[in-house]
Amino acid sequence: MTDPIRVLILCTGNSARSQMAEGLLRQLGGDCFEVASAGVSPTSVRSEAIAAMHEIGIDISTQHSKSVDEFVEREFDYVITVCDNANELCPVFPGHTQRIHWSFEDPALAQGDESDRLAVFRRVRDEIGARLREFVVETANHQ
């Protein structure tokens, strides 16, 4: 068995996009991936992100926001930034890390009532999931 592909997913607060991406990639990639997420200014995991993921059978309720500083000494095969701010502030990682940037809307900025906000989290979750499905297929083909 080959070593798992190490992936770090970054956003600003590590509260929604990167948390959902971490949960999705864990499910989509299984044992082939070792996944972590972090933020350049970590806060806490948004309840709407937990709810949106729960709807598709993925539990991220035990995940917590982490600082990118916790990971700068570790080697990753891929560092994926999921917001423009994290892309601009992302530190350099050791080794042969491949950087990938995907810009997704910040669902934490959604306005309206709970139903309206949750709809934005669902849409962003699905957009992230689509990108990650492509990533898993492409990455598996290059291993």
Residues in the chain, total: 143
C-alpha to C-alpha distances, 103 to 30, 85, 96, 119, nearest whole angstrom: 24, 9, 23, 18
Q: What percent of the chain has pLDDT over 90?
A: 76
Q: What percent of the chain has pLDDT over 70?
A: 93
Residue positions annotated with a catalytic role: 11, 83, 90
- Indicate the pTM of the whole model: 0.93
CB 30 within 8 A of CB 14: no
Q: Topology of 5-136 in CATH?
A: Rossmann fold (3.40.50)
Domain ranges in the chain are: 5-136
Q: What is the mean pLDDT of the chain?
A: 91
pLDDT in tens, 63-115: 999 999 899 888 899 999 998 877 677 666 767 889 999 999 999 999 999 99
For residues 30 and 88, give the distance between their C-alpha atoms in angstroms, rounded to a whole number: 30
For residues 21 and 69, give the distance between their C-alpha atoms in angstroms, rounded to a whole number: 19
For residues 14 and 10, give the distance between their C-alpha atoms in angstroms, rounded to a whole number: 7
Residue type, 75: E
Tokens for 72? 């700068």
Q: Label residue 1 by pLDDT band (50, 70, 90).
A: low
